[in-house]
């Protein structure tokens, strides 16, 4: 079958290790099912993999892709939950299973004609969402949903600051936070992205690092070093920063005095559970909110999609389609 594979790592030129072509057909282990992929969205995770972050060289070649929507052999339409983990091993939460992996970390990913996943990793695809929209949900949208709905402690009417408004998680967070009834403030380095964020539902958009008119109840942080200090300063006493990514670097100054003196909560978050994915799908069906798609490409043109992701000039999701 045709697949998009990481065949080597290069921290400075990640696309050098991107290989498109024929691979062996999907092996379906006992208790797993084959999904014929109709659409799969790109995530920064795929670039990290090509840079050699999170994957050991002995696992190459590896089919990339952490999320997808597709069809089972019997025609059932599904959204694929990309977290491979055992809820029992994580106290009822598979994302807390110490042995948890994402598709493309241990098991082949979704940028292929078919992918194998455990039976429990399937969520029914609603007819209201397109294939491309459904494919955006399991990684970036699920991550944003867990950050807001499960981790932030936000209540209706509270104010949330979302850093780096152009990113895949950030654009999802803007739309979900707006749908959940929060006051949504965003930052972006780019004027056009700030305008777009307002279009998506943000109540106010600020240049990155700008002093805000008031303190916020929670911050959604995926940018990392470039915005961490601003995130801590933006919080009200007792506020919560939920962090799920560090695109600009993972080691900003901790500013511990501010953390303890203002009793700030620093909360890590990664992906989400299958049940949270189910709830996210329901939220979208009920509210009419739909993922923002920057562009779609046929699977065979995946290199163009990766070039676009690497350029950073993206608002919303890049989606690969098949069939």
Q: Which is nearer to ligand NAP, 36 or 230 (CB)?
A: 230
Per-residue binder mask for ligand NAP (CB under 6 A), 241-280, x = binder: ---xxxxx---------------------xx---------
Q: Quick one: the chain helix, strand, coil %, rounded to 5?
A: 35, 25, 40
- CA atoms of 35 and 308, how far apart (whole Å): 27
Shortest separation between residue 14's beta carbon and ligand NAP, angstroms: 13
Displacement of CA 200 from its chain's centroid (Å):
17
3-state secondary structure of 307: helix
Subset of 53-82 contacting ligand NAP (CB under 6 A): none
CA distances 230 to 26, 65, 233, 267, Å, are: 46, 32, 5, 16
**109 touches ligand NAP (CB under 6 A):** no
Tokens of 188: 């972006």
Q: Output the DSSP codes for 106-161.
A: SS--SSBSEEEEEGGGEEEPPTTS-HHHHHTIIIIIHHHHIIIIIIS---TT-EEE
Shortest separation between residue 237's beta carbon and ligand NAP, angstroms: 26
Shortest separation between residue 123's beta carbon and ligand NAP, angstroms: 17
Shortest separation between residue 198's beta carbon and ligand NAP, angstroms: 13
Subset of 140-159 contacting ligand NAP (CB under 6 A): 140, 143
Residue from 110, 130, 139, 183 binding ligand NAP (CB under 6 A): 139
Strand partners, 206: 187
Torsion of CA 86, 72, 63, 291, to 10 degrees: -80
Residue from 108, 109, 167, 291 binding ligand NAP (CB under 6 A): 167
- CA atoms of 40 and 79, how far apart (whole Å): 10
Subset of 172-231 contacting ligand NAP (CB under 6 A): 188-190, 193, 208, 222-223, 226-227
Q: Please name the residue that has the structure tokens 């030129």.
A: 13
Shortest separation between residue 312's beta carbon and ligand NAP, angstroms: 6
CA distance between the termini of the chain: 13
Shortest separation between residue 209's beta carbon and ligand NAP, angstroms: 8
Displacement of CA 180 from its chain's centroid (Å):
18
Mark the segment that binds ligand NAP (CB under 6 A) among 137-145, 175-183, 231-239, 256-264. 137-145
Tokens of 291: 């993922």
Mark the segment that binds ligand NAP (CB under 6 A) among 116-124, 128-136, 162-170, 298-306. 162-170
Shortest separation between residue 269's beta carbon and ligand NAP, angstroms: 6
Shortest separation between residue 128's beta carbon and ligand NAP, angstroms: 24
Dihedral sign for Cα atoms in the order 269, 271, 274, 280: positive
Mark the segment that binds ligand NAP (CB under 6 A) among 127-135, 164-172, 253-261, 284-292. 164-172
Total binding residues toward ligand NAP, as defined by CB under 6 A: 30
Applying CB under 6 A, the residues found at the interface with ligand NAP are: 43-45, 48, 139-140, 143, 164-170, 188-190, 193, 208, 222-223, 226-227, 244-248, 270-271
């Amino acid at each position: 079958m045709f697949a998009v594979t990481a065949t080597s790592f290069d921290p400075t030129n990640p696309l050098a290790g991107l290989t498109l072509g024929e691979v062996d057909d999907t092996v379906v282990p006992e208790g797993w099912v084959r999904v014929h992929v109709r659409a799969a969205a790109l995530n920064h995770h795929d670039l990290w993999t090509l840079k050699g972050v999170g994957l050991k060289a002995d696992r190459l070649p590896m089919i990339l892709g952490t999320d997808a929507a597709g069809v089972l052999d019997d025609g059932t339409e599904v959204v694929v939950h990309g977290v491979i983990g055992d809820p029992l091993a994580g106290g009822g939460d598979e994302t807390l299973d110490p042995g948890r992996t994402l598709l493309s970390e241990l098991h082949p990913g979704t940028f292929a004609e078919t992918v194998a996943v455990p039976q429990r990793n399937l969520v029914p695809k609603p007819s209201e969402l397109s294939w491309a929209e459904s494919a955006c949900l399991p990684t970036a949208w699920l991550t944003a949903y867990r950050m807001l709905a499960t981790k932030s402690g936000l209540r209706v009417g509270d104010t949330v600051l979302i850093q780096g408004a152009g990113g895949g998680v950030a654009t999802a967070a803007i739309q979900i936070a707006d749908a959940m009834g929060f006051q949504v403030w965003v930052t972006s380095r780019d004027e056009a992205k700030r305008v777009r964020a307002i279009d998506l539902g943000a109540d106010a958009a600020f240049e990155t690092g700008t002093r805000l008119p008031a303190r916020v109840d929670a911050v959604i942080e995926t940018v990392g070093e470039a915005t961490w200090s601003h995130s801590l300063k933006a919080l009200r006493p007792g506020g919560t920063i939920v962090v799920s990514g560090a695109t600009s670097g993972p080691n900003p100054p901790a500013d511990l005095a501010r953390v303890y003196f203002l009793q700030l909560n620093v909360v890590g978050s990664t992906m989400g559970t299958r049940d949270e994915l189910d709830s996210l799908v329901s939220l979208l069906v009920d509210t009419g909110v739909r993922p923002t798609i920057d562009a779609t490409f046929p699977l065979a043109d995946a290199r163009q999609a990766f070039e676009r992701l690497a350029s950073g000039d993206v608002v919303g999701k890049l989606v690969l389609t098949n069939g």
